[in-house]
Amino acid sequence: MATIQKRKYLNKTSYQVRIRRLGIKTITKSFLTRTEAKRWSRSMETKLDKGDYSDYSSASKVTLGDLFKRYINEEKHKKKKQWKNEEYRLRQLLLVYKQAGLVVRPITSPFLLNYIIFDSDLFLIKLIRS
């Protein structure tokens, strides 16, 4: 069930919505008007009832390097024919992306394409200077 709490700070009034359900982390959000708070709380509760709500707070902390490490440690790639080549490529990517600290959540295909092109341009610049 959602609770709406009125909060005052200096001359401003805001409304904080808190939704608490068993088995789900507490969801909170603040609004400037009470009607916006009610509207959002109703929509979130219907999402929770239907099972459409997904919590991405933990996913926003996972980096690409973490995923590569996990994949190598689980050793599922060893079922493939050329698993040694794949493990070598993953370790090389791990060295590159560990320094970058790319978070997985905001990665989209255009972002990844731009990042790879940018990274390869830097690699070409390093080769030319050498």
Locate 104 and state its tokens: 């997985």
Strand partners, 19: 2, 27
Q: CB–CB of 64/97 below 8 Å?
A: yes
Higher pLDDT pick, 40 / 128: 40
- CA–CA separation, 101 and 108 (whole Å): 16
pLDDT tens-digit profile of 33-76?
999 999 999 999 998 888 877 766 666 677 777 777 887 888 87
pTM: 0.48
